[in-house]
Amino acid sequence: MTIDCPAPVGPYVAHRHLFSADHPLLLASGVPLPRVRVAYETYGELNTARDNAVFVCHVLTGDSHVARHDREDAPGWWDTLVGPGRPIDTDRLFVVCANVLGGCAGTTASWPAGTRHAPVDVADMVAVHRELLASLGVHRLRAVVGGSFGGMQALEWLLRHPTDAEGYFIVAATSRQSADNLAWNAIARAAIRNDPEFHDSHYAPGGGPRCGLGTARMIAHLTYLSEASLHRKFAREGRRPGTRRHPSPVVQGDFAVESYLEHQADKFVQRFDANSYLLLMSAMDRFDAFAAPDALATAEVPPRVQLFSFARDRLYGPDHSQRIQRLLAARGLCAPHQREESCDIGHDAFLLDVPPLLDAVAGFLRALEPSRTPPSRTLAPR
């Protein structure tokens, strides 16, 4: 299996080579990786105490470009949250975002020749994040912030390495996929694997199952928006005759919502790789945060945790956050949960300008200042 990066990396992306033959990354599957290339971006400045760093975990199809670096830069995927004067204020904080292991935007996603290809787990992604931060000289994080798939990474980090950060903000995430979540991903995988251009995952760079990947994206996108949001945008409106400018082999219908989904599919296949998508979806499906032993009892000073969900989110609604809250409480950790009722956009609301979420993140980070007495241990790689 090969993984291609169809989208160019931006001018602000930096790369580091981590681990070595003497200090390999041991995947959860037991396979060692002696060398991992990581693509990452930083915003703001690390202070002299090296304790103002915030790590932002990216979404499933995201990358290291979480926000604009300047006015001339391309938009980031979380510009509403990160930047000068934003809730994660880069005038005061040092922000790091890195492409996950197995992603297709600059970080290692294919294993060395002769090495048995192995799945990637969320724990492996966090291990790479921690190694990167140690290499950057970050002594301890102010916070780890993540939404959706990024929230799964933040939860994994909290449970296994709670003293790495003063706080963890987890929004619109889950501790494990429901049967409904698994079913949607199963259909998306089938769309990719049944594409005749998939070739059992051995397609050539620049090729591959574009139709299948586009269909998988359309399937996923339906779970990101609420029924009310789709109705408000499109209702049953049809497309005006002759307005199809980019014919898609995936869908040939005439309703406006179909045109919208085609557009999302066409954009996605130009920037993402099918094998990477399969790899990351499988990591999500295997994720079961509370099934493995955690390290919360070892925390000398328990970190602060905030959970946030959207009532109209049909992917990871409030019940997913409530499960996290309940299981953390059973381990002695209080995690307030804010349920947003007024926004009916659905799961994607966490990426948009939703004032209650922006205010919650800003307030959470303010509450971490001034820093409490840190535990004796500082952030260190696995």
- Catalytic residue numbers, as ranges: 148, 313, 347
Distance of CA 143 to the CA centre of its chain: 16
Amino acid at 102: G
Residue 96 DSSP SS3:
strand
Q: Rounded CA gap, 225 and 310, in Å?
A: 11
Query: Phi/psi class of residue 244: alpha, beta or left (left: φ > 0; alpha: ψ in -120 to 50)?
Result: beta
Say if CB 350 and CB 358 are below 8 A apart: no
First and final CA of the chain: distance in angstroms? 27
Q: How far is CA 92 from CA 84, 300, 334, 369, in A?
A: 8, 27, 27, 11
Say if CB 289 and CB 176 are below 8 A apart: yes
Nearest to 247 by CA among 205, 195, 211: 211
Say if CB 148 and CB 174 are below 8 A apart: no
Buried b (16+ CB within 10 A) or exposed e, 28-55: beebebeebebbbbbbbebeeeebbbbb
